[in-house]
């Protein structure tokens, strides 16, 4: 066991926790030429066409990659194959999560209106009706406030409520508390009404109608007609799905193993309805290219290249991954470089983000590398991506991105034609040079026991996303 490992272990035991101070070497001026030679060795191997090829496979070949879908798994398999082709050890790590499944069968029939087809949208997290539906009298309850229900008997009835003033959740909860069997909320403006009620609480089947549909019902009721409706919501519910992380490991050289672990991460899922070219096929493309280049280099640091599933549902893959790290592994983990949205022509300048808005070993390394191979970088305070669970586990982490954000963020228009090869190439240059500076076996390990030369301090910027 080398000195560094001993220090980690005694530090872990003494502190009883995994977070500990780290110092980063800023290359002394006399070593500058040597560092640049090391940078060049890596940076010149970067092939922007290869990065673009991965973005094409993921965003055009596969397309939308929503968490837990077959497409997300196909993306994970593609990534695993690429890592394997670089000679890395690959593990596909499955994890389960619960999510709401939309109803398969949603309908509203009105006894008194036969010539018109109602096209309701069921609210997200709405409970189902029985298979035969709920058939009952329709009662109007204004905006659905508590006073709208006071003195009104809606027990077992279907309540018609207009949109406005209260949240949908409050309207639906008031109706359910008053004893309604189902709730119809109609729009107060043109267009369909599609939203959600909370995932837990006391609710009954809740549907959204257009303004025109709602007004048609209200007109009948205003005329004093009794209106009877049948509402069906079938097949909705909480389901368990599986997503996957892909973990590719490059071991440290046996005779030069400092015990350090570095992470290079990106999420491979997209939001539903978007091919996620920038968010985040671009991050995966850069991750793969750095893995390809560094896989053939000797390092004194273990590098784990990871792509995470289900980021868009709440960083689920990265939270799962950090939960599988032992305390000993976490203590040896010296930094996490996360890529998220690194390829849009329509985004701003390169930036680094930390969860707490403080600089750390990753931003310092990124800033130093930026100075050498690209240009000075700034950093800001943003979580919202896979660096967050690492930060919470006490591992210094930063997301590399471009800000301000592109207008196509989370839209169906986040497509390959908006992708800039140059932005991805610059990102690959900066982070590969930074990772290699820490990991190459010619540099000493990061040792907090030694005085740290002053790192490059990037200026903080509160740039809006």
Q: Which residues bind Zn ion (CB under 5 A)?
A: 279-280, 340
CA 447 to chain CA centroid, Å, is: 33
Shortest separation between residue 409's beta carbon and ligand BES, angstroms: 7
Candidate segments 46-54, 113-121, 380-388, 416-424, binder of ligand BES by CB under 6 A: 380-388
For ligand BES, the closer CB: 311 or 408 = 311
Residues 383-402 that bind ligand BES (CB under 6 A): 384-385, 399, 401
Candidate segments 226-234, 310-318, 371-379, 430-438, binder of ligand BES by CB under 6 A: 310-318
Q: Considering Cα of 308, then 310, then 314, then 319, what sign does the dihedral take?
A: negative
Candidate segments 125-133, 208-216, 254-262, 306-314, binder of ligand BES by CB under 6 A: 306-314
Q: Which of 39, 279, 289, 406 binds ligand BES (CB under 6 A)?
A: 279
Q: Which of 57, 289, 302, 311 binds ligand BES (CB under 6 A)?
A: 311
Q: Which of 154, 229, 382, 438 binds ligand BES (CB under 6 A)?
A: 382
Query: Quick one: tokens of 380?
Result: 């800001």
Shortest separation between residue 344's beta carbon and Zn ion, angstroms: 11
For Zn ion, the closer CB: 25 or 400 = 400
Shortest separation between residue 291's beta carbon and ligand BES, angstroms: 20
- Is residue 243 close enough to count as binding ligand BES by CB under 6 A? no
Residues near 417 by beta carbon (within 8 Å), at least 6 away in sequence:
none
Shortest separation between residue 442's beta carbon and ligand BES, angstroms: 33
Shortest separation between residue 101's beta carbon and ligand BES, angstroms: 19
Q: Please choose which of ligand BES, Zn ion, none residue 160 contacts, taking the beta carbon within 5 to 8 angstroms, the exact cut-off set by kind.
A: none
- Is residue 72 close enough to count as binding ligand BES by CB under 6 A? no
Q: Please choose which of ligand BES, Zn ion, none residue 23 contacts, taking the beta carbon within 5 to 8 angstroms, the exact cut-off set by kind.
A: none
Q: Which of 300, 340, 408, 425 binds ligand BES (CB under 6 A)?
A: 340
Between CA 278 and CA 410 the distance in angstroms is 9
- Is residue 465 close enough to count as binding ligand BES by CB under 6 A? yes
CA 279 to chain CA centroid, Å, is: 9
For Zn ion, the closer CB: 157 or 391 = 391
Shortest separation between residue 6's beta carbon and ligand BES, angstroms: 37
Q: Which of 28, 272, 314, 407 binds ligand BES (CB under 6 A)?
A: 314
Q: Please choose which of Zn ion, ligand BES, none residue 401 contacts, taking the beta carbon within 5 to 8 angstroms, the exact cut-off set by kind.
A: ligand BES
For ligand BES, the closer CB: 144 or 343 = 343
What is the chain's Cα-based Rg?
Answer: 27
Binding site for ligand BES (CB under 6 A): 279, 311-312, 314-315, 340-341, 353, 382, 384-385, 399, 401, 405, 465
């Amino acid at each position: 066991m080398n000195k560094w490992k001993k220090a980690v272990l005694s530090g872990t035991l003494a502190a009883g926790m995994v977070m500990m101070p780290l110092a980063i070497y800023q290359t002394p001026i006399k070593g500058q030429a040597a560092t640049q030679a090391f940078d060049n060795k890596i940076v010149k191997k970067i092939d922007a066409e290869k990065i673009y090829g991965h973005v094409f496979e993921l965003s055009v070949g596969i397309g939308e990659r929503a968490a837990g879908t077959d497409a997300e798994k196909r993306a994970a398999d593609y990534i695993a194959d690429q890592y394997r082709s670089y000679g890395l050890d690959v593990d596909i790590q499955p994890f389960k999560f619960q999510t709401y499944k939309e109803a398969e069968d949603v309908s509203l029939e009105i006894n008194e209106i036969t010539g018109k087809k109602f096209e309701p949208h069921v609210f997200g997290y709405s409970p189902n009706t029985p298979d035969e539906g709920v058939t009952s009298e329709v009662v109007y309850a204004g905006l659905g406030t508590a006073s709208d229900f006071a003195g009104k008997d809606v027990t077992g009835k279907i309540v018609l409520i207009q949109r406005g003033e209260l949240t949908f959740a409050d309207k639906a909860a008031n109706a359910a508390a008053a004893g309604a069997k189902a709730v119809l909320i109609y729009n107060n403006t043109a267009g369909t009404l599609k939203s959600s009620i909370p995932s837990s609480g006391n609710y009954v089947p809740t549907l959204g109608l257009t303004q025109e549909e709602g007004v048609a019902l209200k007109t009948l009721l205003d005329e004093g007609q009794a209106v009877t409706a049948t509402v069906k919501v079938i097949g909705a519910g909480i389901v368990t799905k599986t997503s996957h992380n892909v973990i590719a490991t490059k071991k440290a050289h046996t005779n030069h193993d400092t015990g350090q672990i570095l992470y290079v991460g990106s999420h491979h899922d997209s939001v539903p309805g978007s091919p996620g070219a920038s968010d985040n096929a671009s991050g995966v493309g850069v991750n793969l290219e750095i893995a390809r280049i560094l896989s053939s280099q000797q390092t004194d640091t273990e590098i784990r290249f990871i792509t995470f599933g289900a980021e868009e549902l709440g960083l689920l893959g990265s939270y799962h991954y950090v939960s599988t790290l032992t305390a000993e592994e976490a203590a040896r983990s010296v930094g996490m470089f996360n890529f998220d949205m690194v390829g849009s022509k329509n985004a701003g300048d390169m930036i680094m983000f930390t969860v707490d808005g403080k600089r750390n070993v990753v931003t310092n390394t990124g800033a130093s590398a930026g100075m050498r191979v690209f240009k000075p970088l700034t950093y800001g305070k943003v979580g919202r991506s896979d660096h967050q669970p690492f930060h919470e586990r006490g591992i210094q982490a930063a997301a590399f991105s471009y800000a301000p954000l592109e207008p196509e963020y989370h839209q169906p228009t986040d497509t390959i034609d908006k992708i800039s090869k140059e932005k991805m190439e610059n990102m690959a240059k900066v982070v590969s040079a930074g990772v290699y500076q820490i990991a190459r076996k010619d540099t000493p390990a990061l040792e907090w026991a030694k005085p740290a030369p002053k790192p490059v301090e990037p200026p903080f910027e509160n740039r809006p996303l």
